[in-house]
Amino acid sequence: MKRIFPLAAACLMLAGCGAQHAQQKHSRDVFAMDTYMLLTAYGNDSVNEPLIRAEEKITALEHMLSVTDAGSEIYAANHAGGAPVTVSDDTAAILRTAASVSQESGGALQISLYPVVQAWGFTTGSYRVPGEAEIAELLQNVDDTRISLEGNTLTVPDGMQIDLGALAKGYTGDAVTALLREAGITSAIVNLGGNVQTIGTKPDGSKWTVGIENPFGGDQLLGTVHVGNKAVITSGDYERFFTAEDGTRYWHIIDPADGAPADNGLRSVTVIGESGLRCDALSTALFVEGTEKAIAHWRACDDFEMILVTDDRLFVTEGIVDDFAAGSVLPWEEITR
């Protein structure tokens, strides 16, 4: 289960202090998608109504996208025995981004990994280490290139199952911030458990501050980034994990190459960009790719910045360096194009 970034919450409180009446802080706690979420908008009392509608939108998306909800579009596609199903524009948009990020990451993102994620128990909390033969058999049905999407018609091959958990929260953040913007809100921050998305600036005109959590435990942040109108989305090995009897730690982001937790020295990846959907898909893909490939991937694109956390240092891409403040836990290096 995800925690709200303590620093982001603290900054919100500071931003609220002394703000004039017209810029009062209004917050809404939501528990959805197995995540604690906090929606905060500044303005007069009229911002409460869009915050309620934002919560309703999150609940609606959860029902539409959840792999376990028997009424969801994903459940229908997974249980159609290979027959086509019609999906909403929302689901189609998520699937298109999943396909493009899978392709550009050399297959690191595979939404068809769901049965493997399930075998490790990450979906239920009944953790176990599956045997090699079991994983090898499940991997035979992992191949996102075999998923077909023509317009709003989705076909998942018989025997395959997909799950949008790697990127659907980013889409949800985009939907929520769009709704709040359309309602005229110009200052807001939404935290969907590790996925932070912002509108405008704080009421005092300064940028939002988002903390980079310490994967090694402890309250000290590895650093902070200062952003306006951006998504800041983190995938890490410390979010959902278990420790086996022999002391080995296993986490929830799986390398499709071997069906085991991606273990390449990266501890977390934070992606900063305009689109929450794309940043969320990228955070998972880059985590699987590992430091070297992630840097090459960043160099091949011009629409995101990133912070990679390894055991002994942080790598910060040049476009975010001016808005990055390092903590004292680890040294950091700038990555240039």
Contact positions vs Mg ion (CB under 5 A): 166, 235, 280, 283-284
177 binds, among Mg ion, ligand FAD, none (CB under 5 to 8 A by kind): none
Instruction: Tell me how far, at minimum, the Cβ of 307 lies from ligand FAD, in Å.
Output: 15
Amino acid in position 186: T
252 binds, among Mg ion, ligand FAD, none (CB under 5 to 8 A by kind): ligand FAD
**Which CB, 41 or 237, lies closer to Mg ion?**
237
Question: d(Cα 144, Cα 36) in Å, to the nearest integer?
Answer: 30
Amino acid in position 53: R
Instruction: Tell me how far, at minimum, the Cβ of 275 lies from ligand FAD, in Å.
Output: 14
Question: d(Cα 46, Cα 107) in Å, to the nearest integer?
Answer: 45
Instruction: Tell me how far, at minimum, the Cβ of 257 lies from ligand FAD, in Å.
Output: 10
Alpha helices, DSSP H, located in the chain: 6-16, 48-65, 73-78, 89-104, 114-119, 132-139, 168-182, 276-289, 291-299, 318-321
239 binds, among Mg ion, ligand FAD, none (CB under 5 to 8 A by kind): ligand FAD
Q: How many CB atoms lie within 10 A of CB 248?
A: 10
Query: Do the bridges between strand 148-150 and strand 153-155 make them parallel or antiparallel, or are there none, so unpaired?
Result: antiparallel
Instruction: Tell me how far, at minimum, the Cβ of 102 lies from ligand FAD, in Å.
Output: 8
Give 55: exposed, middle or buried? Use CB within 10 Å, 0-12, 13-18, 19+.
Answer: middle
**Which CB, 105 or 201, lies closer to ligand FAD?**
105
User: Using CB atoms, what's the residue nearest to Mg ion?
Assistant: 284
274 binds, among ligand FAD, Mg ion, none (CB under 5 to 8 A by kind): none
**Which CB, 178 or 325, lies closer to ligand FAD?**
178
What residues make contact with ligand FAD under the rule CB under 6 A? 33-34, 62, 65-66, 68, 109-111, 113, 117, 122-123, 163-166, 168-169, 194, 235, 239-240, 252-254, 256, 280, 283-284, 288
Instruction: Tell me how far, at minimum, the Cβ of 35 lies from ligand FAD, in Å.
Output: 7
Instruction: Tell me how far, at minimum, the Cβ of 293 lies from ligand FAD, in Å.
Output: 13
**Which CB, 59 or 153, lies closer to ligand FAD?**
59
CB environment 129-146: b (16+ within 10 A), e (fewer): bbeeeebeebbebbebee
Distance set, CA 238 to CA 56, 233, 269 (Å): 29, 14, 11
**Which CB, 15 or 277, lies closer to ligand FAD?**
277
251 binds, among Mg ion, ligand FAD, none (CB under 5 to 8 A by kind): none
**Which CB, 135 or 164, lies closer to ligand FAD?**
164
**Which CB, 223 or 261, lies closer to ligand FAD?**
261
Instruction: Tell me how far, at minimum, the Cβ of 165 lies from Mg ion, in Å.
Output: 8
Instruction: Tell me how far, at minimum, the Cβ of 166 lies from Mg ion, in Å.
Output: 5
**Which CB, 15 or 94, lies closer to Mg ion?**
94
Alpha helices, DSSP H, located in 250-337: 276-289, 291-299, 318-321
Please name every residue paired with 200 in a beta bridge, in sequence order, or none if there are none. 187
104 binds, among ligand FAD, Mg ion, none (CB under 5 to 8 A by kind): none
Question: d(Cα 90, Cα 171) in Å, to the nearest integer?
Answer: 8
Tokens of 28: 């809404």
Q: Residue 315: which of 222, 211, 221, 232 has the closest Cα?
A: 222
